[in-house]
Amino acid sequence: MCGIAGIINTPDEREEKTFLDALCGAMAHRGPDGYGFYSGPGVLLGHRRLAVIDLKSGDQPLYSEDRKVVLVVNGEIYNYLDLRKELEEKGHVFASASDSEVILHLYEEEGTNCVSRLEGMFAFALWDGRRKVCFMGRDRMGKKPLCYFRYGNTLVFASELGALRCHPKFPETLDCDALSFYFSLQYVPADRSVFKEVFKLPPAHTLLFEPETGRLTITPYWKIDFSRRAAGSREELAGELRRLVEKAVEKRLMSDVPMGVFLSGGIDSNIIAGVTAGLLKNTPCNAYTVGFEESAYDERALARKGAAYLRAVTGGNLCFHEREVKTSDFSLVEELVRHCGEPYADSSILPTALLSAFAREEITVALSGDGADELFGGYERYLAMTFAAKMDKLPRALRRLGAKAAGLLPAGGERTFSGRLRRFLDVCCGEPETRYFTLLDRCPPELKKRLFTPEFQRQITAPGAALFQAAAGPLTAAGPVEKLSETDILTYLPGDILTKVDISSMAFSLEVRSPFLDREVTEFAAALPWELKLDGRERKSLLKYAFRDLLAPEILSAPKRGFGVPVADLLRDRWATPAQEVIFDGPLKNGEFLNFAEIGRLWQEHRSRRADRSYILWTILIFALFLARGEAPRL
């Protein structure tokens, strides 16, 4: 796991080498074990290394035998041994034992089609000195990031937007559509960024840049397919699911450094921990969890029970480590905003970062349960949308009457029962095609009208629901609720969840691997009948059944809880002073983007406990911290 950067078709590589050093220096946390670079006519490539495989000879950049092709990689290729054997049989000579080097020789053998042969999490860039082209690729699910911009016929790229902003030609003009999307969903989806002329390479896509013509071509090479259906009984499908997940975990145990697992009180991490402990047998399997003094957000007791159960059923080699962490350190919020490089307001990035910091004290690689909720129907909102679809049988007038009646309930905020009920009934009144976005939207149109300045509103060219549908693209699922799962896999998973995991873990130089996002697992999950995922009111039904022997009764019966922090209370208490200073004394004060009076109203409602406005205030706070970094971006 590393950080990569490059400048292609630069007029002065000597001057631009200073800029490359700045880009890579800003990503030192991604690769604390070394810095390597390539400098050639018009081309600069840089690599920050986190040494995980081939500790002695795995430094990058990597070169072809004739040194005409140069490669930098961020990530891991899990099928590299099979590919290496195949390539050696064809006469290719390897200079290292690195997994990354197979990309180089596979490209020589198969050209740009090479990426479809790779199994892993990766973002790579190579310079082909023979063809005079730059070729990049990103993994199927979007585990590893890659962003870029152009000035003239020069291409600049990096693993992090925060690093990319170190280049003096970085275009700072904001994309108001993307920013409006951020206020709704708390992240900006690929291929957009919050900057108009800065882009993210989407998952499962390649980029080919030809400096001589300036042509840049983005091409998809894979897409998850929900149109197929797996055949077999429930027992047979559960058995195949288990086999594929166990295989995926086994692939991800390759490492020359200490590794372990994340363990919470949830089903997904307990499955991964149990499978890992079983595969390691007599080798200790270190499992890490963090908790908070606030009991509503503390899963340590449940994780402890899960660990004890796993220890009993897998041979006793699971070693459980727990720590209580404090949420009062506001500097961590500021640090993570810097790493994100654009507004990102999913507050669960904070506990994920604290967990990563704790685990990194002993290990360099951790396995996690990310992706299972999207793939196996784990979110409560899928159940809510199932009920909403059933309510379509009622006349719309009756549904509107119910929503109006719900409006008489106390406006306690989104986290209260009354707030959730009002939101659900409002959604039931809407059009089916925009209903899901309405359910997810944290800053609905009526609030945006009050919050956004007239100038900001004038520059928004598309409604959030349209951007959301465009980000998902054409869907293959047949069922209306199954389409939501597919939508989340294409939008929320790479844009929010995997962004959170990448930024928060790499901030502490920890590599996180996600077995549920293995290609074979994802393709099989997509082919499963939806009723085996959401069985009545039971979510992730088949997944639970397939691994029932690894799940403690307390884990199976516990309600699903997000991995969060008490933002509402923190904004009233420990973070009140620094948050108030950032919001009211910072760059928002000039009123260019947001209506200052409306922010003040929301703040007072929240501080006085008349309502819970923590979602929108947190979103505003992160935006203010983003604006406070360096040059103020422009509308």
Residues known to be catalytic: 2
CA gap 169, 422 in Å, rounded: 47
Q: Are 603 and 571 in contact (CB under 8 A)?
A: no
CA gap 442, 407 in Å, rounded: 17
Q: Are 186 and 175 in contact (CB under 8 A)?
A: no
CA 334 → CA 350, 380, 603, distances in Å?
Answer: 11, 31, 20
C-alpha dihedral sign at 500, 143, 338, 632? negative
CA 222 → CA 77, 203, 247, 472, distances in Å?
Answer: 17, 9, 21, 14
> Helix or strand or coil: residue 144?
coil
Q: Which of 47, 214, 203, 198 is nearest to 115 (CA)?
A: 203
CA 168 → CA 28, 172, 441, 513, distances in Å?
Answer: 19, 10, 35, 34
CA gap 487, 330 in Å, rounded: 33
Please state, as a whole number, how many other Cβ atoms lie within 10 Å of the Cβ of residue 563: 20
CA gap 279, 320 in Å, rounded: 17
Count Cα atoms within 13 angstroms, Cβ side, for 241: 31
**Token pair belonging to 331:** 């500097």
**How much of the chain is in helix, strand and coil states, percent to nearest 5?**
45, 15, 35
CA gap 35, 60 in Å, rounded: 8
> Helix or strand or coil: residue 609?
coil
CA gap 368, 356 in Å, rounded: 11
Please state, as a whole number, how many other Cβ atoms lie within 10 Å of the Cβ of residue 430: 18
Count Cα atoms within 13 angstroms, Cβ side, for 406: 21
